[in-house]
Amino acid sequence: MNIKMEKTFITLLIAGILSLQSCDAKKQKTKDNNIPTIKNPYLGQKPPGLRPLPFAPGLVSTDLYEVNSAFTPDMKAFYFIRRGEENKKSAFYEYKYSEINGEWKKSEIASPWIGRPVISPDGQTMHLGDRYLKRTESGWSELQKLEPPTVSNDSMYIMRLSSSSNGTYYFDTYKENDSTFPIRYSRLINGKHEEPKALPKAINKGTFLSHPFIAPDESYLLFDAQREDGYGDSDIYISFKQKDGTWGNGINLGDKINTNAWEASASITPDGKYLFFSRNVGSDDFENVDVFWVDAKVIYALKKE
């Protein structure tokens, strides 16, 4: 090889190396930014099996306090609450998928947080306890408050409200210095919600009955409570609607979901594939709570049993 050919070879070799380095850098940048695309739903996370895993470590689940997660029916927006960030008492966040560039973008909806989000089955209402937002052409509306009779007593506080496809509300009714508050429901009749009624003892058994989530077809109800058959602190239970229209006894989701720590705020993704819930993974001071997810087969198996 003469000198001229050798210089040409070396030039091409260097150019090739630089090109590869550039490609690697781009791949690494995408990896480091952890930006999922349309080929990677659920914020680009690998789906779990039958063992619960923290959801989106570093993005959603951190060493702070994250609770009350919710997807919109089209699975293109995800909401959750975080507490403990520097200079913030709490914050309400959204991860939204962009059709333009195929990325999930995080934004702050409110600080401090404005309620525990549950999206209605039609995607038109974001329930936030005794308040709510309505879907508009430009996004979510201004914060609105439920009217009587659903909310008729200022001493009662709705932590979480969930609605079925036919508009029936299911909600807890927290009352200060009272751990025996029941879960109630209110049907939508002729465009108005009726006076709330307490669910039967099959569900309202134990203390701290909280954070109900109703299936769109009302075939099951998820909730958390402290009961004698539990594993320690608050556990997650499920009640299935029976063929005669009554509610079955609340069933503990078992030791794969519940531990001696606090588990709460369960929901099923709109596509029916995954169970989401929150768990205290820190000390008794609740400084570290994470959002977990697991294959929804864990609850469908209980129905067969």
Question: Domain limits of the chain?
Answer: 1-33, 39-74+114-304
Alpha helices in 58-181 (DSSP H): none
Nearest to 128 by CA among 95, 168, 79: 79
Token pair for residue 162? 């969930």
Nearest to 276 by CA among 80, 97, 62: 80
Sign of torsion, CA 28 31 36 41?
positive
DSSP secondary structure letter of residue 35: -
Per-residue pLDDT of the chain (305 residues), as tens digits, is 443 333 333 343 334 433 433 344 333 333 434 554 556 789 999 999 999 999 999 999 999 999 999 999 999 999 999 999 988 889 999 999 988 888 999 999 999 999 999 999 999 999 999 999 999 999 999 999 998 888 766 667 899 999 999 999 999 988 888 899 999 999 999 999 999 999 999 999 999 999 999 999 999 999 999 999 999 899 999 999 999 999 999 999 999 999 999 999 999 999 999 999 999 998 777 889 999 999 999 998 898 76
Looking at residue 165, its amino acid is: S
The C-alpha atoms of residue 51 and residue 46 are separated, in whole angstroms, by: 13
pLDDT at 38: 55
Token pair for residue 272? 């029916």
pLDDT at 101: 85
Alpha helices in the chain (DSSP H): 3-33, 41-44, 297-304
Please say whether the beta carbons of 43 and 290 come within 8 A: no
pLDDT at 89: 86
The C-alpha atoms of residue 89 and residue 290 are separated, in whole angstroms, by: 17
pLDDT at 39: 61
pLDDT at 32: 39
Please say whether the beta carbons of 234 and 225 come within 8 A: yes
The C-alpha atoms of residue 158 and residue 154 are separated, in whole angstroms, by: 10
Sign of torsion, CA 275 220 205 186?
positive
Say which residues have a Cβ less than 8 Å from residue 153's Cβ, sequence separation at least 6: none
pLDDT at 257: 96
CATH architecture of 39-74+114-304: 6 Propeller (2.120)
